[in-house]
């Protein structure tokens, strides 16, 4: 099963282990058991949120790397320009 596109949901489930009345399910498959409904709902919501968060963080880090490369290049170019100007004086 390709879980990348699965829709996880929280349901009360009577067949769970003792003390775990809630299940996070995908179709007919049980993904996780939870003691509290809030925990199961959090797990189900995180399924959609975490991959988007990871993608956005990767994009942010890529942007920061590009800025760092630009600043490094700018610094090297300014140093070269400074050296050239000093040589002309």
Which tens digits make up the pLDDT trace of 9-47? 888 988 889 999 999 998 889 989 999 999 999 988 888
The predicted model scores a pTM of: 0.51
Q: Is 23 helix (H, G, I), strand (E, B) or coil?
A: strand
Q: Is 31 helix (H, G, I), strand (E, B) or coil?
A: strand
Q: What is the pLDDT averaged over residues 60-69?
A: 88
List the strands of the sheet with 29-34, edge to edge: 9-12, 22-26, 29-34
The domains of the chain are located at 3-88
Report the chain's C-alpha Rg in angstroms. 26
Q: Which helix (H) or strand (E) holds 24?
A: strand 22-26
Q: Is the dihedral of CA 2, 12, 21, 38 positive or negative?
A: positive
């Amino acid at each position: 099963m390709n879980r990348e596109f699965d829709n996880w949901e929280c349901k009360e489930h009577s067949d769970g282990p003792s003390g775990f009345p809630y299940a996070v399910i995908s179709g007919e498959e049980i993904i996780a058991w939870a003691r509290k409904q809030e925990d199961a709902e959090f797990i189900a919501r995180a399924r959609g949120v975490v991959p988007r968060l990871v993608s956005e963080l990767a994009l942010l880090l890529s942007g920061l790397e590009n800025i760092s490369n630009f600043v490094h290049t700018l610094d090297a170019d300014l140093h070269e320009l400074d050296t050239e100007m000093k040589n002309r004086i």
